[in-house]
Amino acid sequence: MPIHVSKDAFEDLVRDAIMSLPGKFLMKMENVSIIVAGSATPAQMAENGLQPTDVLYGLYDGVPLTERGSYVPPLPDIITIFQNPIEHMSHTQEELENQVVVTVKHEVAHYFGFSDSELDEMGLG
């Protein structure tokens, strides 16, 4: 049976996952907002070439650092962590916490310019 936690408790898990990142990465994270949402919208799914039946745990929307040069976008990049699909795949608190950490690392890696294939090679796919 899937595990469910309050939105506040889930946001705490996301915050803990962010704070567990190495300091050298945290110091370089600028102009990025990390938010929690229930599930991806149909538009988010379509924009990323996904079908309604696909599962999306997190989403990075922005200009990766490797593509910016000296340009800094005026609006913040956004990393969204989706609570419902992460809860749905988690059957224990430990699984939930682990999936949050993996998802946060995956989306932060996109912020730093890593591709999905590179993330697969690093075990974050």
Task: For residue 122, give every residue at least 6 positions away whose Cβ sits within 8 Å of its Cβ, in sequence order, or none.
Answer: 109, 114
Give CA–CA dist 9/17, Å, rounded.
Answer: 12
Give CA–CA dist 124/23, Å, rounded.
Answer: 19
Task: For residue 39, give every residue at least 6 positions away whose Cβ sits within 8 Å of its Cβ, in sequence order, or none.
Answer: 56, 82, 83, 84, 85
Give CA–CA dist 114/108, Å, rounded.
Answer: 9
Mean of the pLDDT values across residues 20-41? Answer: 92
Residue 55's pLDDT is: 95
DSSP states along 33-54: EEEEESS--HHHHHHTT--TTS
- Provide the residue ranges of all domains of the chain, joining segments of one domain with +: 7-121
Give the tens place of pLDDT for each residue, 39-77: 999 999 999 999 989 999 999 998 888 877 666 666 789
Exposed/middle/buried for residue 107 (C-beta within 10 Å: 0-12, 13-18, 19+): buried
Residue 72's pLDDT is: 64
Mean of the pLDDT values across residues 29-35? Answer: 91
From residue 91, alpha-carbon distances to 44, 58, 63 in Å are 26, 19, 34
Task: Classify 7-121 by CATH class.
Answer: alpha beta
Give the tens place of pLDDT for each residue, 71-117: 666 678 999 999 999 999 999 999 999 999 999 999 999 898 887 78
| Cβ atoms of 58 and 103 closer than 8 Å | yes
Residue 68's pLDDT is: 73
Mean of the pLDDT values across residues 21-46? Answer: 92
Kindly list the strands in the beta sheet with 32-37, ordered across the sheet, starting from the edge strand earlier in the chain. 32-37, 77-82, 58-61
Residue predicted with more confidence, 31 or 17: 17
